[in-house]
Amino acid sequence: MRAEARIDLSAITFNIQKLKAHSGTNLLAVVKADAYGHGLVRVAETAVKAGADYLGVALLEEAITLREAGITAPILAWLVQPGSDFARAIDLDIDLAVASLAALAEISSASTTKKARVHLEVDTGMTRGGFLDEWTSLTAENLRSVDVVGIFSHFARADEPEEAQNAEQLKRFTAMVEHLASLGHTNVIKHLSNSAATLVNPASSFDMVRTGIAMYGLSPDVKTLGTSATLGLRPAMQLRAALYLVKDVPAGTPVGYGASQITTSDTKLGVVTMGYADGIPRIAQGLGQFPAGVWINGRRAPIIGRVSMDQFVVDLGADSKAHSGDWVVVFGNGSHNEYTADDWGAASGSINYEIVTRIGPRVPRICEAHVY
């Protein structure tokens, strides 16, 4: 095997239980995008066993995959486009987000022997999905043919706790909940909090919180909220790969496409068997304020040169004892001073969310408790 993403399911269990206890309410485990790259079915099974009350996905096909895997827990799919197989969703007891009167009408018409279970999505300031101008036009008659299970919205700046927009969204959400109650729907699940709000804004917890990045042990924002360690979370993914080749090179040797870097001294270089086709950011650099690279034999080895499609090169150092075939850690939980997903995000001008979710399908997921 040339590369693998090792997923510590015990870390996910720990994080979910910590977040649920911290929130004091129900918890929806967000497992969209292949569980943020960690493996959809295994993570969903783990989340339910850990005490998650709901599972959340973006796409209907993700929800169907979970049902076909035998998962019976409540599932909410919130990005289901017009023309989708709503009848099958209803038959499989998959909750659907509704963000417009047109979507509500289409889903209502798909109901046959049983009503569709819906969560009304309202736009409180994210200006993305959700009812906005149509909300005051919503009537009890519009909702007669569906089972209104919940109402929800999404924070735009929860990872910036001091921003006034958070309070404005909370106030607006409360008002929109009151309008729904005026239509006779009072016994519904109200959910607004994402990971950041779950951690720092208890006023927004309502009946359920939705935890995505935090359940995987990563900080929603390192700069404003602190690191995983600061937040008491355990990163679940370790990405590692094999060295295809180790070789000695002299000072002044250009490396990679465009000869973007040149060795400054005699050294050993290692060729890592992953590249941008596997999700390694091409833009990531080994030097500068935010470096990236690999960890091997107790120390870091930075990237040198550009990341290629299937491989990248690291500077192991002249005294390195590494050999071809040795395993290197691309990122992990940082407990041994290895690079983290946060480091790779900073090195590529991105965020840890993108680093873990972009790991490609040709990298197998090894999902076990205490796998690393």
* Binned average pLDDT, 10 residues per bin, the chain of 372 residues: 97 98 98 98 98 98 98 98 96 98 96 92 97 97 97 98 98 98 97 98 98 98 97 98 98 97 97 98 91 96 97 98 98 96 97 98 95 79
Q: Which residues contact 347 (CB under 8 A, 6 or more apart)?
A: 281, 284, 285, 288, 290, 291, 292
**93 and 118 Cβ atoms separated by less than 8 Å:** no
Q: Does the annotation count 18 as an active-site position? A: no
Kindly write down the DSSP assignment for every residue of 255-316, as one continuous string: ESGGG-EE-SSSEEEEEES--GGGT--TT--SSSSS--EEEETTEEEEB-S---SS-EEEE-
For the chain, the distance separating the N- and C-terminal CA atoms, rounded to the nearest angstrom, is 17
Closest C-alpha among 242, 310, 256 to residue 286:
256
pTM of the model: 0.97
Quick count: other Cβ atoms within 10 Å of Cβ 68? 10
Q: Does the annotation count 32 as an active-site position? A: yes
pLDDT for residue 131: 98
pLDDT for residue 371: 80
pLDDT for residue 139: 97
pLDDT for residue 286: 87
Helix, strand, or coil (residue 150)? strand
Active-site annotation holder among 114, 223, 257, 321: 257
What is the dihedral sign for C-alpha 275, 291, 6, 70? negative
Residues forming a β-bridge with 354: none
**129 and 97 Cβ atoms separated by less than 8 Å:** yes
Active-site annotation holder among 18, 20, 32, 190: 32
Which domains are assigned to the chain? 9-215 (3.20.20.10), 237-368 (2.40.37.10)
